[in-house]
Amino acid sequence: KAPKAMATHVGAGGETHQTAGEGTPAMTTQQGLAVSDDQNTLRAGARGPALMEDFHFREKIFHFDHERIPERVVHARGYGAHGYFELTDSLADVCKADLFGKVGERTPAFVRFSTVAGNKGSADVVRDVRGFAVKLYTSQGNWDLVGNNIPVFFIQDAIKFPDFVHAAKQAPDRDFPQAQTAHDNFWDFVSLSPEATHMVCWAMSDRAIPRSFRFMEGFGVHTFRLINAQGKSTYVKFHWKPKLGLQSVVWNEALKINGADPDFHRRDLWQAIKTGNFPEWELGVQLFDDAFADSFDFDILDPTKLIPEELVPVRRVGRLVLDRMPDNFFAETEQVAFCTQNVIPGIDFTNDPLLQGRNFSYLDTQTKRLGGPNFTHIPINAPKCPFANFQQDGHMAMHNPKGRANYEPNSWSQPAGGPRETPAGYTSYPEEESGPKLRQRSETFADHYSQARQFYISQTPVEQTHMRDAFVFELSKVETPAIRARMVSHLLHVDTELAQGVATGLGLSPLPAPAPAARPVVEGLEP
């Protein structure tokens, strides 16, 4: 529809003035004062100096000067959409969360997809992990499932996260690369961290160059707990399975796409949703108990390991549909704050050392990124169920306690007395804990190669070739020969042909000795 013609006039200098009225709202300052001229600063004489008194100019420029907020320290480049989660198979026997109780029940959702290493303005189709963060606005509070498109992670303990991210992002002296894994620091760090081998294999696979967000899987990565109405705990791994299936591009396509359209993934999501092709994922759960956890070769608390789907099939219990783009990118996608510690009754943590560290990190960083402790007052972050507490003040406080009381217990009757505790509120799973206080990794975390090997041999020959070529391409950008050789020394534990192929591609001869392995490779499930 063509916009309604607006009254216009040309100013003394030939500039265009469009006038409010007949359905066109009047422009005002932030104080609500109607603006008569937005084309000219206040000056002493038409050709004279600008006047300090021009409050409209100063307010406008002041606001513009403050438009940028710090980008996320990781996952800076992202794109989000609204939608809903609908339950298709009740989990009421194992989980007391309302959203998992009644089949057909819908829960509003907001999802943000992201790359990890690139800055906010970097390209979409780079070789990288993708974030898959889901905020579920449940009737019992917000539950955030802050996952990735790869089911495992590079490190086992959150204390290594700053080192990993520093090594993966720009080097401090040269400030490049912005978005690629191809540099010495990244490969130096991962080759000195045998625990990264499994994830590095995924990162060198086709999974790391998805066709679009719509063709990606998502994973909660950590083992979480579901708690039922009787207080019984069941371990769970969360999966998102794309309705369109899994698709990637190949490397030379990725390079061309990035050159032609660095916004390829965000444009794809925008166009799909705007044309009514709503992307959809199934929520899958792998459920298992303590007996399985104890019998499994790997530690279920170790985020560099997955639970093979052959051992514990993925049960599909619901669908996630994205059907609405944000009205405003900044207000919603940029200001949304996901956090692993946002859980609801029925969902609980395990002692995965990476998860425990994440539970601290997100709130801490968002307090800085979003300017203080009140970012849950921003509509995208606020729960959609009733909420009330005695937290008050701070920068940008939008809702403070009403009435006299800002503490409890108190003697004041309602409504002045404010909110109180409820027995139906969140209680943590009473896991028994004991043991000496130590800085020591569990020896159950020591097998760094068996699952990397299983992953490699589960790939088709074409995919294996892509992996080998990716290792060769990325490592060929590494200038330090010792780092290349060290990486190949790990690959010798994954697959000798892969290691040999990479060494040949790099012109590395003779082959280095295999890296010292804390645990021998276990030949596990063959696909």
Annotated binding-site ranges for heme: 72, 112, 161, 358, 362, 369
Annotation: binding site: 72, 112, 161, 358, 362, 369
Torsion 494-307-202-247 (CA) sign:
positive
Q: Two tokens at 165?
A: 């991210």
Residue bearing tokens 């679009």 = 212
Q: How many residues does the chain have?
A: 527
Q: Is 75 a catalytic residue?
A: yes
E strand or H helix at 204, and its extent?
none
- Least distance (Å) between residue 441 CB and ligand HEM: 15
For ligand HEM, which is the closer residue by CB, 73 or 511? Answer: 73
For ligand HEM, which is the closer residue by CB, 128 or 495? Answer: 128
Q: By Cβ distance, which residue is nearest to ligand HEM? A: 131
Q: What is the DSSP string of 484-509?
A: HHHHHHHHHHH-HHHHHHHHHHHT--
- Least distance (Å) between residue 205 CB and ligand HEM: 17
User: SS3 of 210, please?
Assistant: strand
- Least distance (Å) between residue 347 CB and ligand HEM: 16
For ligand HEM, which is the closer residue by CB, 441 or 477? Answer: 441
For ligand HEM, which is the closer residue by CB, 165 or 311? Answer: 165
- Residue 490 CB neighbours (<10 A): 24
The residue ranges that bind ligand HEM (CB under 6 A) are 72-75, 78, 112, 114, 131, 133, 146-148, 153, 158, 161, 221, 303, 336-338, 354, 357-358, 361-362, 365-366, 369
Which residues is 142 bridged to in the sheet? 137
- Least distance (Å) between residue 452 CB and ligand HEM: 17
- Three-state secondary structure readout of 10-24: ECCCCCEEEECECCE
Q: Is 40 a catalytic residue?
A: no
Residue bearing tokens 């800002």 = 406
- Least distance (Å) between residue 307 CB and ligand HEM: 15
Please identify which of the residues 56, 82, 142, 148 carries the catalytic annotation.
Answer: 148
Question: How far is residue 121's CA from residue 262's CA, in Å, rounded to a whole number?
Answer: 9
Residue bearing tokens 């560099």 = 304
Question: How far is residue 445's CA from residue 303's CA, in Å, rounded to a whole number?
Answer: 9
E strand or H helix at 183, and its extent?
none
Please identify which of the residues 75, 82, 239, 448 carries the catalytic annotation.
Answer: 75
Close Cβ partners of 277 (under 8 Å, ≥ 6 residues apart)? none
Active site (catalytic) residues: 75, 148
